[in-house]
Amino acid sequence: MTTFKKVAYSLGSLGASLPAQVFSTWVIFFYVDRLKLPAAWMALAWLFYGIWNALNDPLFGYFSDRTKSRWGRRIPYILFGTIPLALVFYLIWIPPFTAANLLYLFLYMVLIIFLYDSLYTLVILNWTALYPEMFPTLKDRASVSALRQVFGLVGVIGGVALAPLVYGSLGWPAMGLIFGTITAFSFFISLLGSKERPGYIGEPLNILPALKFTLLNRSFLTYVLYSLLVQFTFVLIMASIPFYTKYVLGLGEMETSLLFLSCFLVALISLYPWSKVTVRLGARQVAIAAAILFGLSLIPTAFVSTFLSGVVFFAFIGIGLGGLILILDVLLAQVIDEDKIKTGVRREGVYFGVHALFIRLGISLQGLTMGLVLTRSGYDAQLLIQPASALLGL
DSSP string, 124-139: HHHHHHHHHHH--SHH
The candidate with the shortest Cα–Cα distance to 326, out of 163, 162, 131, is: 131
- What is the C-alpha to C-alpha distance for residues 172 and 185, in angstroms, rounded to an integer? 20
User: What type of residue sits at position 37?
Assistant: L
* CATH node for 1-195: 1.20.1250.20
The candidate with the shortest Cα–Cα distance to 33, out of 180, 241, 237, 307, is: 241
CATH ID of 206-393, from 1.20.1250.20, 3.50.30.30, 3.20.20.140, 3.40.50.300: 1.20.1250.20
Q: What is the pLDDT of residue 293?
A: 94
Tell me, yes or no, if the two domains 1-195 and 206-393 fold the same way. Answer: yes
- Domain borders along the chain are 1-195, 206-393
**Axis-axis angle for helices 207-215, 348-376 (nearest 10):** 60
- Residue 280 CA, chain-centre distance (Å), reads 28
Q: What is the pLDDT of residue 178?
A: 96
Q: What is the pLDDT of residue 334?
A: 85
Q: How much is the average pLDDT of 341-348? A: 72
- What is the C-alpha to C-alpha distance for residues 354 and 132, in angstroms, rounded to an integer? 16
Q: What is the pLDDT of residue 189?
A: 94
- What is the C-alpha to C-alpha distance for residues 315 and 226, in angstroms, rounded to an integer? 23
Q: What is the pLDDT of residue 209?
A: 64
Q: What is the largest CA-CA distance in the chain?
A: 62
| Rg of the chain taking only CA atoms, in angstroms | 20
Given a cut of 90, whether residue 296 has pLDDT beyond it is: yes
In percent, how much of the chain has pLDDT > 70? 94
- What are the tens digits of pLDDT across the range 218-248? 888 898 889 888 888 888 887 788 888 888 8
User: What does pLDDT average to over the chain?
Assistant: 85
Pair 105, 35: CB distance under 8 Å? yes
Pair 140, 324: CB distance under 8 Å? no
- Residue 330 CA, chain-centre distance (Å), reads 16
Q: What is the pLDDT of residue 253?
A: 76
pTM of the model: 0.69
Pair 236, 368: CB distance under 8 Å? no
The candidate with the shortest Cα–Cα distance to 240, out of 81, 1, 29, is: 29
- What is the C-alpha to C-alpha distance for residues 14 and 156, in angstroms, rounded to an integer? 8
Q: What is the DSSP letter of 306?
A: S
Least confident of 51-60, 273-282, 372-381: 51-60
- What are the tens digits of pLDDT across the range 103-117? 999 999 999 999 998
Q: What is the pLDDT of residue 205?
A: 52
**Axis-axis angle for helices 307-343, 218-243 (nearest 10):** 160
Given a cut of 90, whether residue 355 has pLDDT beyond it is: no
166: Cβ–Cβ under 8 A, 6 or more apart, which residues? Answer: 174, 175, 178, 179
30: Cβ–Cβ under 8 A, 6 or more apart, which residues? Answer: 93, 172
Pair 291, 320: CB distance under 8 Å? yes
Pair 277, 286: CB distance under 8 Å? yes
Residue scoring higher pLDDT (5 or 181): 181
pLDDT band at 91 (very low <50, low <70, confident <90, very high): very high
Q: How much is the average pLDDT of 3-7? A: 88
- What is the C-alpha to C-alpha distance for residues 243 and 189, in angstroms, rounded to an integer? 35
pLDDT band at 8 (very low <50, low <70, confident <90, very high): very high
Least confident of 56-70, 72-86, 312-326: 56-70
- What are the tens digits of pLDDT across the range 179-192? 999 999 999 999 99
- What is the C-alpha to C-alpha distance for residues 321 and 263, in angstroms, rounded to an integer? 8
